[in-house]
Structure 1
Amino acid sequence: MSATIGEIAGVFYDRMFTAHPELLRDLFNRGNQANGEQRQALAGSIVAFARSLVEHPAFPPETMLNRIAHKHASLGVTKDQYEIVHTHLFAAIAEVLGDAATEEVVAAWDEVYWLMADALTTIETRLYAEANAPDGDAWRDHRVVGRYPEATDTITLLLEPADGAPLPSFRPGQYVSVQVELPDGAHQIRQYSISGTSANALAITVKRIDGEVSSHLHEHCTEGDVLRGSAPFGDVVLDEGTNPVLLVSAGIGCTPMISMLRHLATTASPRQVIAVHADRSEHTHAFRADLDQLAAKLPDATVHVWYEEPQEPWPAERTGLVDLSALDIPEDATAYVCGPLPFMRAVRAQLLELGVPASDIHYEVFGPDLWLAQEPTSVPA
C-alpha cells in the first residue's frame, strides 16, 4: 500500500488553514494554494530531503535547504511555526494512511521532519542575525519615491526606507519580500528581485501577471505610498570568481540578471560575460537598453537576444527559442538562469550538452520551486 506525499500535502494545508486562517490570509500565497503549486513544492522538497538522507546520509542537501531557508526568512517564518506545521502534517499523514500509519511509519517520518526543520531553523537563525533581525522580524516600512514603466505591463518601483535609515547591503541576484494590504483585508506577500538602486532607494521591477499582488501594485501603488518590505534574501547570487559568467533569462527573469550585470559593470570586471535573453518581443523586453549599455562598459561582454515575435528587420537565427549551441559557451563558465520553469529546464539541458557541469548551473525560481516536484512522490506505507 502506498500514499502520495502530494495527497498528504493537500490534506495538511486544508487542516492547517482551517485551524489558522490567518496563515493563508497573511503569510502563504493564496494563488499558489489555489492552483496546487505550493503543495507540489512541499511534496517535492520532503521527498528530495528523505531521498538524500537515504542515499547520502552524511551530506544534507544544502542547496535545497538554503533556498527554502532564504524564502522562509524573507517571509518572517519563525521556529514556533514549525510546531504548527508538524501538528497538522502528521494529522494529515494519519488521515491519509489510515491503518497503514503504523508507529514505525510515523516515527520514521517524524525523524525526517525534525531533521529537516532543525536544519532549516539553523540556517534561518543565521540569516536573521545577518539581517540584524534576531527575532525574525526583518520587515520595515518603505516609501515609494519613484515609479516608471520598464516595458509593456512592467514597472519599476523605487523603495526608500521610511525611517531614513541607509539601505541594507545586498548581493547581486537577491530579492526582497513586499507585503500589500488587499481590499479584503488580507496582507499578501510576494518576492521581487532587486533590479538596481537609486540614491537611497532599492529598485524592484514588477511584471503585471494574473496575480493579486502584482495587479495591486500596478493599479494602486503610487509615489508617496508606504509598503512593507523585508531585508534582502536569496541564495542565487553572483559569485566572486574570475571564470566566465553566463547570464540566461526569459521574460521578467531578467531582473536578477540585470542586477548581476550592473555589479559587473560597476566594478569594471575583467571576466568574460555572456548575456542571453529571450522575450516575446521588443515591447515586452524590460531593460533592453540597459542590457546593451551595461555590457558596453565591460571589456569582454556580449549580448544575445531572441524574440518570438520580433519586429522587422530581425535576424532569423535570433527568432524563436534560445539556442545556446549557436554561441561559444566556455565549459568553465558559471551559469545563472531565470525564467519560466520549462525555459530553465531546456537551458539546463543545453548547457549540460555543451559540457557545463551541473554544479555550475544555478537557477532562480519565481514562486514555489517545482523543480523537485517532477519526481515520483510515492511514499511507502
Structure 2
Amino acid sequence: MGTTDTIEDLLRAEAPQVLGALVRKFSRFDIAEDAVQEALLVASRRWPAEGIPVEPRSWLIRVAYRRMIDMVRSEQAARRREQEAGLADPAVLDASAPAPDVVDHDDSLLLLLLCCHPALSPTSQVALTLRAVGGLTTAEIAHAYGASEAAMGTRISRAKQRLKQSGARFEPPSPEDLPDRVDAVMKILYLIFNEGYTASSGDRLERVELTEEAIRLTRMLHHLRSGDAEIAGLLSLMLLTHSRRTARAQDGHELVPLEEQDRSRWDRRLIDEGVALIESVWQTGPVGPYQLQAAIAAVHAQARAADETDWPQIAALYLWLERLLPTAPISLSRVVAVAKACGPRRGLALLDELERTHKFSENALTRHREQAVRAHLLESLGDLAAARAAYLSAAALTDNEVEKTYLLRRARLDDSAATDGS
C-alpha cells in the first residue's frame, strides 16, 4: 500500500473521532463537520510531503479546532475577510501549538445515532451519515442515489442545518427514541458495506476500508442491542459476504464469479461466526430482510463446491425476501437463483416477466445489473450473439473498472467460439 493510500485510510478512520471531539466542545454539528473536512483537506495536502505526524488525531483536532474557532467568530462578528486571512496564515496550522484534549473513546456510533435524528428524512439521514461517519465523498453518495454531486451537496448542507434548527444534542438518544433510529442506522451500514464490497467507480473492485468499517460499526450496534435479530442478521450477512473477499478477484484486477472461486480461500473464521449468528436468531421471532439475506449467504458458504449449492432453497428464500422487500436487486437475484435451480430458460422467462412489470432496463440504477443477468442467461442458452451484446451493454453501464474488464472479457465469448469452430 502506498503512502497516499495509507494517509487516506488514516484520515477515514480518524474523521469521526475528530468530529466527535469538536461537537462535544462546541455542540455545533453543522459547522464542526465543515471544519473537520477542511482539516482533512489540509492533511491530505501536507502529510505526503511532510510525513504523517506522530499523533495524527491530535494534529487533526488542533487544525479543525482552530478552523472552528474562526468559523464561530465569523458567525458572531461577521468578519469574513479576517477569517479568510486567518486561514491563509501558516501559524493557524502550526502543529506545535497547544491542542484541545483528545478523547480515547470511539464516537462513531454516537455520531451514527445523531445523524439518524428524527428531524431528518430517511434519505438525509443516510446521506449525512455516509459522509460524516462512513467517509464517502459527496460524489460517491450522489452516485448511489443517481443524483448529481451538486444536488447531493445541497441535500447534505440542508440536513446539517436541519439538525441545528432541531436543537439536536451530541448525546445518546433516550430509550424511547432509540428503536426509531435503529432501522435507519442499519440501512446506512448496509449501504456503506455495499459501496465497499463493490465500489461504484474506480479501478478497484472493492474498498475494504469501507466494508471493514461497516462491520466494525455493526458489531458496535449489535453489542448495544444484542437482542435484535435483524441487527444480528445484518452482521451475519456482512461477515458471510466478506468471507469471500480474497477469492473474488484474481491478482486484484480480474473478477472471479462466485461459482468459479477457490473456496479454500474463503475465510472460515468469518463463515463460522456468521453462520452461528444467523442460526442463533433464526427462530427467535419474525424473520426480516437482513436475516433472510444472511440465510442465503449461509447456504452459499456451507456448500463445499459450487455444484453442491442448494439452489432450490436459495430460490425459495429469495421469493420470501422479495415479498418482504420488493426491490430490483432482490428480484434480479431471484432470477439467477431460479435459473440455477430450474434452468436458464425458466430464468430468462422470469426476467422477461419482471422486465415487463418493473422496466429494469429503463432505470439508470438497475439496467446494468439487468443486462449482466440477461447476458449470462443468454450465454447459458447458447445465444452467443445476443449474450455478447448484453455483456457489452452492461460493461458500458458500470463505472467500476474491474467489473467492466470482466464483462468485456465475457463479451468475447462468441469470437472464441467462432475460432474454435474454424
- Tell me whether the two structures share a fold, i.e. TM-score over 0.5: no
TM-score of the pair, normalised by structure 2: 0.28
Q: Which has the higher contact order (CA 8 A, sep 6+)?
A: 1
Higher strand share: 1
Larger radius of gyration: 2
